[in-house]
């Protein structure tokens, strides 16, 4: 390549996908100045050294295939602060893709890493994407990249779905529960937490159904509580 860049990760607006005219693309210039394509999609993706040369020769905001692109971002992968900036400022999906690429590239002089969204510790191997959301059209993206420890400690204690360190905030859904059920739910959460909303609500509803069944049997057998008392109002609701 003609550029003097070395050990440099280049981030630029590449090609698009349905509903979007661009997305972030990446290539790497190694210690010898050789070009390596990491991710190149669509009309403006640089999948050859010649295209990368042309891109790097442009001034910021110069046209690329009639598209006025933003400045190109470069990161010296020999500098910890540069890798840290990339890991913190870029989308979690792209950070993971680049991390996996460098892991496979396997240059012993480069210690590329991502940063866990939960604990802020470095991730040197494959992380886990979470906090998925829509980002326009049919596209989805993830807002969190987690290390294996944070992912495992944030899994629901019943179904293993990731819910985060604190789990579902259930306090607002206890108003219609008896004190006995509230106490049992708190104990169950401490034993199995964190918990997802579905598992917690299923447990709550199961406890309510059991309690109501016991009350109905007691009412029919003894007349106490009465079938039309406040305690049995749920039966006629």
Say if residue 175 is in the same domain as residue 108. no
Say if residue 100 is in the same domain as residue 19. yes
In a domain, 128, yes or no: no
The confidence score (pLDDT) of residue 67 equals 46
In a domain, 134, yes or no: no
In a domain, 156, yes or no: no
Residue length of the chain:
237
Dist CA 124 CA 27 (whole Å): 19
Domain range for 182 is 171-236
Say if residue 105 is in the same domain as residue 183. no
Reported confidence tier of residue 171, pLDDT bands at 50, 70, 90: low
**Torsion sign, CA atoms 95, 101, 106, 108:** negative
When divided into structural domains, the chain yields a total of: 2
| Token duo for residue 223 | 């007349």
Q: Is the pLDDT of residue 111 over 90?
A: yes
Reported confidence tier of residue 1, pLDDT bands at 50, 70, 90: low
Q: Stretch 13-42: mean pLDDT, rounded? A: 85
Contact 78, 108 (CB under 8 A): no
In a domain, 207, yes or no: yes
User: Which of residues 112, 136, 152 is at a domain's end?
Assistant: 112
Say if residue 183 is in the same domain as residue 108. no
Reported confidence tier of residue 71, pLDDT bands at 50, 70, 90: low
Of 92-96, 183-187, 194-198, 231-235, minimum mean pLDDT range:
231-235
The confidence score (pLDDT) of residue 135 equals 75
Q: Is the pLDDT of residue 33 over 70?
A: yes
Say if residue 176 is in the same domain as residue 99. no
User: Higher confidence at residue 214 or residue 41?
Assistant: 214
Say if residue 189 is in the same domain as residue 99. no
User: Higher confidence at residue 174 or residue 50?
Assistant: 50
Dist CA 25 CA 90 (whole Å): 11
In a domain, 124, yes or no: no
User: Higher confidence at residue 227 or residue 88?
Assistant: 88
User: Which of residues 95, 112, 129 is at a domain's end?
Assistant: 112
Q: Is the pLDDT of residue 60 over 50?
A: no
Dist CA 130 CA 235 (whole Å): 42
| Token duo for residue 172 | 């607002």
User: Which of residues 63, 86, 112 is at a domain's end?
Assistant: 112
Q: Is the pLDDT of residue 223 over 80?
A: yes
Say if residue 13 is in the same domain as residue 107. yes
In a domain, 191, yes or no: yes
Helix (H, G, I), strand (E, B) or coil at 175: coil
In a domain, 129, yes or no: no
Q: Is the pLDDT of residue 17 over 80?
A: no
Entry pTM: 0.80
Asked if residue 194 has a cis previous peptide bond (ω within 30° of 0), the answer is yes
Reported confidence tier of residue 172, pLDDT bands at 50, 70, 90: low
In a domain, 163, yes or no: no
Reported confidence tier of residue 23, pLDDT bands at 50, 70, 90: confident
Of 63-67, 89-93, 170-174, minimum mean pLDDT range:
63-67
Q: Is the pLDDT of residue 93 over 90?
A: yes
| Backbone φ and ψ of 107, nearest 5° | -90, 115
What's the chain's average pLDDT? 87
Residue closest to 112 by CA, chosen among 46, 30, 226: 30
């Amino acid at each position: 390549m003609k550029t003097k860049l070395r050990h440099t990760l280049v981030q630029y607006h590449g090609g698009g996908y349905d509903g979007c005219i661009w997305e972030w693309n990446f290539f790497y210039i190694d210690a010898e100045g050789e070009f390596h394509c990491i991710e190149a999609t669509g009309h403006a993706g640089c999948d050859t050294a010649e295209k990368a040369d042309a891109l790097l020769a442009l001034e910021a905001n110069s046209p690329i295939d009639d598209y006025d692109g933003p400045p190109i971002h470069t990161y010296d992968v020999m500098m910890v602060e540069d890798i840290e900036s990339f890991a913190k400022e870029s989308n979690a999906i792209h950070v993971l893709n680049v991390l996996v690429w460098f892991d496979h590239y396997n240059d012993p002089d480069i210690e590329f890493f991502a940063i866990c969204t939960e604990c802020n510790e470095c991730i040197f191997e494959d992380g886990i994407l979470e906090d998925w959301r829509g980002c326009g059209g049919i596209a989805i993206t993830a807002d969190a990249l987690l290390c294996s420890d944070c992912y495992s400690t944030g899994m629901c204690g019943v179904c293993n779905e990731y819910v985060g360190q604190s789990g579902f905030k259930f306090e607002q859904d206890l108003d219609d529960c008896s004190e006995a059920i509230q106490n049992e739910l708190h104990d169950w959460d401490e034993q199995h937490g964190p918990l997802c909303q579905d598992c917690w609500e299923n447990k709550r509803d199961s406890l309510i159904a059991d309690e109501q069944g016991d009350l109905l049997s007691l009412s029919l057998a003894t007349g106490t509580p009465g079938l039309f008392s406040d305690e049995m109002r749920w039966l006629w609701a």
